């Protein structure tokens, strides 16, 4: 495993396991298999409705708690200072933990204009030691800038959709300038057409790797955290088997040239679901 050091000095695994759309009754088995495959970063969220199942897996694993990096997220309907504190307590209870390694705001939901006071609640949680790091998801530059202007703690991470067809270069550059690590969800574009891109396939053949492995390696070499999701054990093993090769600069450039600003998920500035 490779690690990235966050702006508060904490190390986070650069490759993790996401449980979006994994039913609660299947989450325990999926997370147990992921941990057995070598994953130590586990990414869940309140809205995924599987924190209980994730917590059961973490309670039974042979891996010491301090070797795991557990992330959960605040849902939009719980924004606001007091609501955030309450929602965080509920997530901890479901997970069966007294702290998480990272707590994130899931979306800025700008139409409701509560993300600043919400982030201040995250700062309180962090100061209490109940979240080792705090950050955000799906924040554009304007949202990040406002957080930095009106709050004390620079977000450690901004988790956003990122893959070869949506590389988020301007956002990534801004984050790098301010010590914020970019984290890619849907790093394989939810398993859709990017895996069949002829450039990706050609590179994969060259290294005797799969297209998914090439894309994940590209994320790692771009200093991005990636959290692919799968419930298939063979895919879990495939996705984590990316530390025995490096892409050449020429091949990195070929993948960089694939950027087409093609988004597969919601637009952050327009996503205001509660």
H runs (alpha helix) in the chain: 24-37, 51-60, 81-95, 115-127, 141-150, 169-177, 198-207, 211-221, 233-240, 249-256
Taking a C-beta distance cutoff of 8 angstroms, is the pair 69, 227 a contact?
Answer: no
Nearest alpha carbon to residue 34 among 46, 50, 11, 47: 50
Catalytic annotation, pick one of 39, 48, 103, 115: 48
Cα atoms in the 13 Å half-sphere on the side-chain side of 43 = 25
| CA–CA distance, 269 with 274 (Å, rounded to integer) | 14
Determine whether 81 is an active site residue.
Answer: no
What does the alpha-carbon distance between residue 22 and residue 20 come to, in Å, rounded to a whole number?
A: 6
Rounded to 5 degrees, φ, ψ at 181 are -85, 135
Least Cα distance to 42 among 31, 53, 33 occurs for 31
Residues 6+ apart with CB under 8 A from 25: 53
For residues 274 and 246, is the Cβ–Cβ distance under 8 A? no
Rounded CA-CA distance 72/104 in Å is 7
- What sign for the dihedral angle of Cα 130, 73, 88, 142? positive
With 0-12 / 13-18 / 19 or more C-beta atoms within 10 angstroms meaning exposed / middle / buried, residue 102 is buried
Catalytic residues: 48
């Amino acid at each position: 495993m490779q690690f990235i050091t966050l702006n508060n000095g904490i190390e986070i695994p650069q490759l993790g396991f996401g449980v979006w759309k994994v039913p609660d009754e299947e989450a325990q088995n999926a997370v147990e298999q992921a941990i057995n495959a070598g994953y130590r970063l586990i990414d869940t969220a309140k809205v995924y409705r599987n924190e209980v199942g994730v917590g059961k897996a973490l309670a039974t694993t042979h891996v010491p708690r301090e070797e795991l990096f557990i992330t959960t997220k605040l849902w939009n309907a719980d924004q606001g200072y007091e609501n955030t504190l309450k929602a965080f307590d509920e997530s901890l209870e479901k997970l069966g933990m007294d702290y998480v390694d990272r707590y994130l705001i899931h979306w800025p939901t700008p139409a409701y204009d509560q993300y600043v006071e919400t982030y201040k609640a995250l700062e309180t949680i962090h100061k209490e030691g109940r979240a080792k790091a705090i950050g955000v998801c799906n924040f554009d530059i304007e949202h990040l800038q406002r957080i930095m202007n009106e709050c004390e703690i620079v977000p450690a991470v901004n988790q956003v959709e990122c893959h070869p067809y949506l590389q988020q270069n301007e956002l990534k550059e801004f984050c790098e300038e301010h010590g914020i690590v970019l984290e890619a969800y849907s790093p394989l574009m939810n398993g859709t057409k990017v895996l069949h891109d002829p450039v990706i396939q050609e590179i994969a053949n060259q290294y005797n790797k799969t297209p998914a492995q090439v894309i994940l390696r590209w994320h790692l070499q771009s200093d991005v955290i990636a959290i692919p999701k799968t419930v298939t054990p063979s895919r879990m093993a495939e996705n984590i088997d990316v530390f025995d090769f490096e892409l050449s600069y020429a091949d990195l450039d070929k993948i960089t040239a694939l950027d087409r600003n093609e988004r597969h998920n919601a637009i952050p500035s327009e996503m205001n679901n509660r």
